[in-house]
Amino acid sequence: DSTFGIIGASEPMQDVFKTIAKVKTTNATVLITGESGTGKELVARALHYSTGVQTPFVPVNCGGIPDTLLESELFGYVKGAFTGANETRAGFFQTADGGTIFLDEIGNTSLSMQAKLLRVLQEKEFYMIGSKKPQKVNVRVVAATNVDLKELVKKGLFREDLYYRLNEFEITIPPLRDRMEDLEPFINFFIRETNHDLNKNITGVNPALLK
């Protein structure tokens, strides 16, 4: 019932698995779309780890970091770049060098940050805060969003050029209500977890309850 650690035997999920298998060995950027809770980070991890190559996977929740801090978190800074910068510190892009950086909630980034991300994708380089020397980086970018980026583009809130750069491949994860045949595998998974955690021996659920 599980592929790459993701539960789903339904046809929509089989399409997701086929796309993962197709793009996992490429360097193409991938945009993962779907509602909150559908498992976008699981798919990003599957893209990265299914290659079998041991390289860094660095997840970044762009919606959970204030925009004023996001630049220093992503690109790092040099000593003395601002008050409190007592040492040079690498950012997430340096940490992910040679591997994958997963930019979750990409739709929450500001237009100025989007311009900097576009430069990384186009030039494979960025500037640490306080440095005039570009840093080269070899990173595969996987982004995710639970909002419609095309709508944000129309409203002028998201750069169209960045949208197309991120969307070389798109993987859309359907919500569980659109693949109800996956409900029973999910229930069985949680029963197995509960049996293990609570030392129980529950074998399944009543068919009437499942219905």
pLDDT in tens, the chain (211 residues): 567 789 988 999 999 999 999 998 888 999 999 999 999 999 999 999 988 778 999 999 998 998 889 999 999 998 887 878 888 889 999 999 999 999 999 999 999 999 999 999 999 999 999 999 999 999 999 999 999 999 999 999 999 999 999 999 999 999 999 999 999 999 999 999 999 999 999 999 999 998 8
Separation in Å, CA 30 to CA 34, 150, 198: 13, 15, 39
What lies within 8 Å, CB to CB, of 27 at 6+ separation is 140
What residues are paired with 140 via a beta bridge?
100
Q: What is the pLDDT of residue 83?
A: 78
Burial of residue 6, with CB atoms counted within 10 A of its CB: 0-12 exposed, 13-18 middle, 19 or more buried: middle
Q: What is the pTM of this model?
A: 0.90
Q: What is the pLDDT of residue 5?
A: 81
User: How many CA atoms are closer than 13 Å to the CA of 169, on its beta-carbon side?
Assistant: 20
Residue with tokens 């399409």: 15
67-75 and 111-123 helices cross at what angle (nearest 10)?
20
Q: What is the pLDDT of residue 1?
A: 56
What lies within 8 Å, CB to CB, of 84 at 6+ separation is none
Separation in Å, CA 23 to CA 33, 164, 172: 16, 17, 14
Q: What is the pLDDT of residue 208?
A: 94
Contact assessment for residue 54 and residue 63, using Cβ atoms and an 8 Å cutoff: no
